Amino acid sequence: MSKLLLLDGNSMLFRAYYATLYTHRMSTSNGIPTNAVFGFIMMLNKAIDIIKPDSILVAWDAGKPTFRHKQFAAYKGTRKPLDEDLIVQFPIVREFLDATGIKRFEIEGYEADDIIGSMAKTNSKGMTTILTSDRDLLQLIDDTTHVLLMKKGLSDMDLMDVENFKEKYNLMPKQIIDLKGIMGDSSDNIPGVAGIGEKGATKLLVQYGSLENVYENIDQIKGKQKEKLLNDKENAFMSKELATIYTSMDFPFTIQDCKFDGYDEKVNDFYQKYEMRSLISKTTMTSKSYQIKTICSFKGYDSKDLLLMPVNSKEAHLNQKLYGFMFFNNEEVLYLKVEDALEDSYFKNMLKHETSLRTWDAKEMMHLLQRYGFYVPLFKEDLHLAAFLLHSQATDTDSLISSLGIELPETIHDLLKKAKTLEACHIDRLLPVTCAWTWQLSIRQDNIFDELKKDIEGMEARHEQHKELRHEKHEEKKFARELKHQMKHEEHEKVKQGRKVAHEEKKEERHARHEEKKFEKELKHQMKHEE
């Protein structure tokens, strides 16, 4: 059965942007933001690894108005304007898709959801998987359509089919539109029925099945809930219609036009242009055959800035078995078995005296060296730590390795599980994985540290900017306090002066009255004297 992967472009780019906004704000040396594009690529790559699709289509919103806006002018009317740093990345991600040869499509009057819904229906004979963070698309789930739902960050995905949808929501996927009809959707400004939330709406649908049946049995519903339903009946049916994905679009292309055979090598030009160094050469490296050369001694090999990788089982530290060591030298990966290393004075001397050693996980390597009786050096650099600082959105080793543009014959997760013919972490499985890992990591390590240095410099620059901003705010607050104090002082002086004037006026008034009384008294005395 052919496999079609459909991507909700807007939803995924939004998620990629906000997932990395505060943890990994990437930009080129020219200041072009690229964090959303990089995150988008990471999510797409993971979906490809999971689904292994034969065809891919990325659907985009074409902007307002759509037929839903004509029906309800306030549809999505509460959404905030997009950040400028996000807006400029839309054409960049489209440029990426064109470089990879992945089909993209948008059309005026419709949303990405409608394109995805219609394309899924055309692929009824194949298997369709939808990659999105928009739960509205869950209504499309059926026997031939699944949804790969983004849950958290860039790597946490939940594959939803009919059964686990029912288990999680206690409803059928098609009832999503009835649910939205009753409870509404604040993110899309769909009103629904005022005062009835998800729990109340779900309970009604479990009992009556659909919005139509709810209103057909309205007399059985009691109290305030009945009143709310009756008051917003018109909104409820309009909301259901707004939430319903249109699935009858005609396309100027076929699924065959969306065929995917892997990335075109010209995508490396795109990675180079936008300074995504960890992704450069990813397409060419995957098809490369990595050769292992087994050696018996470290004699004659340069140890300066050496990336030393352990060949070990991947269980918990105390249970790990060490088989040997790998390192890259002159376009080949060299393998020194642990029993040879223990007898090799050159290798042991290198561990004691070399101060510029690198490894993937210094803590793990030091545990292994100590357990097997080797001298434990202080590693100069830890690639695992450096990679995590660059890609902190990665939640496990596999996603971190993928973030660096490294592809392995098997994931670390799969290595821990039994294969068809070999046990978990069998040496015959470990050798090709560690070889590919050592090779790719070795040629990328300088770029990783350069990128980390650039990030640190950017962080320091942002720190200085924030410091200056805090100083400016402090000075503004200080000025405001001083101004407030001055105004208060002036007001106090004004009040004081007013009181003084009032006192003088009263004093003058009393004096005037006194003089008036004195005059009246003298006049009265004079008149009495004359009389």
Parallel/antiparallel/unpaired status of strands 156-160 and 103-105: unpaired
Residue with tokens 């899309």: 188
Cβ proximity of 138 and 149 under 8 Å: yes
371 is written with which tokens? 């357990």
Beta strands across the sheet bearing 3-8: 103-105, 55-59, 3-8, 127-132, 145-152, 156-160
Tell me whether residue 511 is exposed, middle or buried, using C-beta atoms within 10 angstroms of its C-beta: 0 to 12, 13 to 18, 19 or more.
exposed
Residue 283, pLDDT > 60, answer no
Tell me whether residue 182 is exposed, middle or buried, using C-beta atoms within 10 angstroms of its C-beta: 0 to 12, 13 to 18, 19 or more.
buried
Measured from the Cβ of residue 286, the count of other Cβ atoms closer than 10 Å reads 16
Residue 74, pLDDT > 70, answer no
CA 39, chain centre distance (Å) = 7
Q: What is the pLDDT of residues 289-344, one digit of tens each?
A: 578 999 999 999 999 989 999 999 987 767 789 999 999 998 889 999 999 999 99
The residues pairing with 456 across neighbouring beta strands, listed in sequence order, are none
Instruction: Look at the chain and count its residues.
Output: 531
CA 134, chain centre distance (Å) = 14
Cβ proximity of 185 and 200 under 8 Å: no
CA distance 38 to 179: 35
Pick the more confident residue, 463 or 33: 33
250 is written with which tokens? 């005609």
Cβ proximity of 48 and 159 under 8 Å: no
What percent of the chain is modeled with pLDDT above 90?
Answer: 36
Tell me whether residue 420 is exposed, middle or buried, using C-beta atoms within 10 angstroms of its C-beta: 0 to 12, 13 to 18, 19 or more.
exposed
Cβ proximity of 111 and 249 under 8 Å: no
- Phi, psi of 152, rounded to the nearest 5 degrees: -150, 140
**pLDDT value at residue 76:** 65
CA distance 220 to 376: 76
Residue 509, pLDDT > 70, answer yes
Q: What is the pLDDT of residues 125-171, one digit of tens each?
A: 899 999 998 888 999 999 999 999 987 767 678 889 999 899 888 89
Residue 82, pLDDT > 50, answer yes
E strands present in 263-302: 292-295
429 is written with which tokens? 């499985």
CA distance 381 to 273: 28
**pLDDT value at residue 158:** 84
What are the residues whose beta carbons fall under 8 Å from the beta carbon of 76, sequence distance 6 or more? 64, 69, 188, 189
**pLDDT value at residue 384:** 94
CA distance 51 to 23: 28
Domains of the chain, CATH where assigned? 3-255+263-269 (3.40.50.1010), 270-454 (3.30.420.10)
Name which of 90-94, 172-176, 300-304, 455-459 the model is least confident about: 455-459
The DSSP element (H or E) to which 56 belongs, if any, is strand 55-59
**pLDDT value at residue 108:** 87
- List C-alpha distances in Å: 482 to 430, 487, 497: 69, 8, 22
Cβ proximity of 162 and 38 under 8 Å: no
Instruction: Give the confidence band of 286 by pLDDT, cuts at 50, 70, 90.
Output: very low
Q: What is the pLDDT of residues 3-55, one digit of tens each?
A: 999 999 999 999 989 888 876 678 887 889 999 999 999 889 888 988 899 99
The residues pairing with 3 across neighbouring beta strands, listed in sequence order, are 127
Q: What is the pLDDT of residues 395-416, one digit of tens each?
A: 788 888 888 888 888 888 888 8
